[in-house]
Chains A and B, each alone.
Chain A
């Protein structure tokens, strides 16, 4: 195992790796993302390995278990390179046929994508409708690498951005580049990452921390864990570059405890990076020291809030604190702590490698780059989608998502989980953009997009979301703890046909008080789904209150 003492050693190692790999040798990538895993893709991967072993084909064809490919609806997914031939809904019995075809350079046509309307087939990834409207800068490498192998990441050009930052740029230059790129936080707020970095960098304390927020508690948002499980080194590389720019000596990866593969991959990535000398003392001979520790959430939504998360890392109960002083100035153990979301960190290497000008050429006027979106709910093609910021929702919903399931019509699009909002179907041409979507009342949050069909009971949706948040409140602020309980009670009454005149006004009062008087975003924005409902779906509520229990 190499322990790189310098950038040149890493570059030489990469050259050797590439020299030893034959790009023409076919490789079969079996997806082990959350949905495929749930469909027992492990059995498919095991069948490929067993068959390759049985026929002694080890030097003719490779088999790789990978992170999420994206098209979760049609899992288990298999992609064969070269050519990116996509097979869907693969089961272990299909394995010998796929191997035989792959060796002959042929395609198993019965397993490729077929257009549900025309029956037209699409063999290659870039021809499949779900993929062809996407720009997969972050998630696109997932099928190409084994997340357990740092060499796979290096072979794809991984850690080149770190080399560039450490050997040719000062920390100030790295910071300037990220600021110029106008990279905005992907966790929900859309706050410029560069400005946050600068605050931590300029804070007087010498000890500083950087944190990856991989908590992803937002319901129906699953892109961050796909990114972190499928390509942990990309996130880690971003973190190390950020730490260099900020002057941090230590980092924390904070993520979910309930995803065994995620834990395994991140733990392994940290160990491999340390072994290769990409973490630890004097990284690549630059004089920069940095280490990184793994932490887990322990099953409560509010621990994704930045100040609560930091309390949790300290070993305390994750109660948010007032942020008169930001965590970027006083965070973990009162030291300046810069926290960004998984996807934000994953964007950093490409910004350093290709430059801010390249990055700002993608996206809308004020939201740059691409955005990962988890597409689910009543959609035909659910999965993980990556599109440039500014892409119309119509493209996401229809061109990529294939529209609404079971031939129904679209009623609402919901963004941002339990603290997000729902907008009606006629706003479908709105662009995916931090500011635009916030104005409409459906802030993109972390990026969970749900379709709701014509039969969806909007009062019940609001009740469900309030029920979720009521259980997740940490209870520190009375307006959050009690205000939500009251809202839940009123909403439950309406759904059970016990609605009364004045309920809407009472809810509006409670939304206002809870919003103003709670410390953290959980309480502050707990009324946001309801606000969007009253803005766009008020007749549904009025009819329910007037007419008793029947939703129609």
Chain B
């Protein structure tokens, strides 16, 4: 992990308790999860109780308290994706990766999560891998997409 970048983020917000969420979001984006010792550093630098850092980190879905896989696989479960067959897509991803919603595999290759709604409803249903959209997906195309990721 980019330890220097993470310390840089913490330094930027030192002494600013109201920037807690900003700091955690930036660390999450950089490091993909929030290790406990990093949250302690955030608490000390921003002068907020550790309990408050944990409260924020455990409340919002964006934050992960466990390491994530190299690739983040999402199936959109928004209304239009749902109406157009997201459940079948989700079942296929779960079958291929052996992961349930929110899980990471033992090799830390994939983290799978459902989520809604990314607003590209016109190309529903959608599979999203590391931010790249695969629109108008069908269950039989999933394997071909996931194969591209190592």
Contact = CB atoms under 8 A, between A and B. Distances in A.
B135 A220 contact: no
Contact of B79 (A216, A317, A377): A377
Interface stretch (A276-284, A295-303, A496-504, A517-525): A295-303
Give 6 nearest A-B pairs by CB, closest first. Answer: A222-B119, A38-B133, A72-B122, A299-B62, A376-B121, A298-B60
A355 B19 CA distance: 40
B25 A37 contact: no
Interface residues of A, number: 48
A317 B49 CA distance: 14
A220 B80 contact: yes
Contacts of B20: 315
Given A38-B120, A75-B122, A298 B62 contact: yes
Given A312-B21, A317-B56, A374 B131 contact: no
Contact of B118 (A34, A318, A377): A34
19 contacts: A34-B119, A35-B122, A38-B123, A219-B80, A219-B116, A220-B78, A257-B62, A258-B118, A259-B118, A296-B21, A296-B22, A296-B25, A298-B60, A300-B60, A317-B56, A374-B121, A376-B122, A377-B80, A448-B79
B63 A35 contact: no
Contact of B122 (A298, A383, A450): A383
A417 interface: yes
Interface of A: 34-35, 37-39, 72-73, 75, 216, 218-222, 225-226, 257-260, 295-296, 298-300, 312, 314-318, 374, 376-378, 382-383, 414, 417-418, 448, 450, 452, 456, 464-465, 468, 474
* Residue among A35, A75, A260, A448 with most chain B CB within 10 A: A35
B134 to A, nearest CB: 8
A495 to B, nearest CB: 12
A330 B56 CA distance: 23
Contact of A299 (B48, B61, B83, B122): B61
Q: How large is the interface on B (under 10, 10 to 19, 20 to 34, 35 or more residues)?
A: 35 or more
Contacts of B77: 468
A171 to B, nearest CB: 28
A260 B131 contact: yes
Most buried by B among A414, A464, A465: A464
Given A298-B25, A300-B61, 19 more contacts: A35-B121, A37-B133, A38-B135, A72-B123, A75-B123, A220-B80, A221-B119, A258-B62, A295-B22, A296-B21, A299-B60, A315-B18, A315-B19, A315-B20, A315-B21, A315-B48, A317-B55, A382-B80, A456-B83
A35 B123 contact: yes
Interface in B1-56: 17-22, 24-25, 48, 52, 55-56
B61 A417 contact: no
A376 to B, nearest CB: 4
Given A376-B122, A452-B83, A219 B60 contact: no
Contacts of A377: 79-80, 83
B82 interface: yes
Contacts of A35: 120-123, 135
A81 B77 CA distance: 37
A72 B120 CA distance: 8
Contacts, number: 120
Contacts of B22: 295-296, 315
Interface of B: 17-22, 24-25, 48, 52, 55-56, 59-63, 77-80, 82-84, 115-124, 126, 131, 133-135
Contact of B119 (A225, A260, A316, A378): A225
A308 to B, nearest CB: 11
Most buried by A among B48, B79, B80, B82: B79
Which of B52, B61, B126, B131 has its CB near the most chain A CB atoms (within 10 A)? B61
Contacts of A299: 60-62, 115
B82 A464 contact: yes
A314 B62 CA distance: 18
A382 B116 contact: no
Contact of A222 (B55, B82, B120, B126): B120
Contacts of A222: 117, 119-121
B30 to A, nearest CB: 13
Contacts of A465: 79
Given A257-B25, A312-B21, A374-B121, A450 B55 contact: no
Contacts of A418: 79
B17 A315 contact: yes
Given A216-B119, A219-B79, A382-B122, A314 B61 contact: no
A39 B135 contact: yes
A450 B123 contact: no
A133 B22 CA distance: 43
Nearest to A452: B83
Contact of B18 (A37, A219, A314): A314
Contacts of B121: 35, 72, 220, 222, 374, 376, 382
For B84, B118, B120, B122, which residue has the most chain A Cβ atoms within 10 angstroms? B122
A312 B21 CA distance: 8
A201 to B, nearest CB: 25
A103 B121 CA distance: 35
B117 A219 contact: yes
Nearest to B87: A464
A220 B119 CA distance: 6
